[in-house]
Amino acid sequence: MDHAFPCGNLALDFVGTLRARRNPVPVEKLTSPDSLAAWYREAGVVAGSDVNCRPADVPKAIAVREAIYALVFARLNELPYDERAASIVNAAARLPAAVPQLLPRGHRIDATAEQALSTVARDAIAILGGSDAELLKECGRPECTQVYLDRSRGGRREWCAMETCGNKMKARAYRARKKDQTRPVATRP
């Protein structure tokens, strides 16, 4: 598996394909038609078939991803609604979505690159336009910019995923406490 899915949410995990976006050199995971097709497969947007992504599909997908992030960022920071970003997401969502097909044993989901992207855009609209928008948070690890829905009891979740960011933050706090305990205490003469 080439991609990570810490949120369990299609649109927010798609936003996470640009990792550490505030770092001097963010990590782009959508670098080719193959990496975009792999993300659609691994995310379950397509199943039992493949999406045939072309080079022109990558910048379109990145534009939708960045528009989703702009809308989420505005929501999280109580900034004005971004009309341009909304129009990009809405345009992608207007196209037909991926098509699930029932099979004698299981199912298959067929999609063109545009249909797969439409499925992601529709999920973003469902989040941002519904009650789940109140649950949006950004990971508390400074190096991470993953956005997630906080469904924890009391809404006190701090990290996108405990296995990655949560463990790193807890280890960092532990090392800082240990370092403070080993510092010699200065005494006055």
Question: d(Cα 169, Cα 125) in Å, to the nearest integer?
Answer: 31
Question: d(Cα 87, Cα 67) in Å, to the nearest integer?
Answer: 9
Pick 10-182's CATH classification: 1.10.3300.10, 3.90.1170.30, 2.40.110.10, 3.40.120.10.
Answer: 1.10.3300.10
Q: How much is the pTM?
A: 0.83
Q: Rounded to 5 degrees, what are φ and ψ at 162?
A: -65, -40
Q: What integer pLDDT is reported at residue 98 of this predicted model?
A: 94
Q: In which residue ranges of the chain is pLDDT below 50?
A: none
> pLDDT of 42-81, one tens digit each?
999 999 888 999 999 999 999 999 999 999 999 999 999 8
Question: d(Cα 29, Cα 36) in Å, to the nearest integer?
Answer: 8
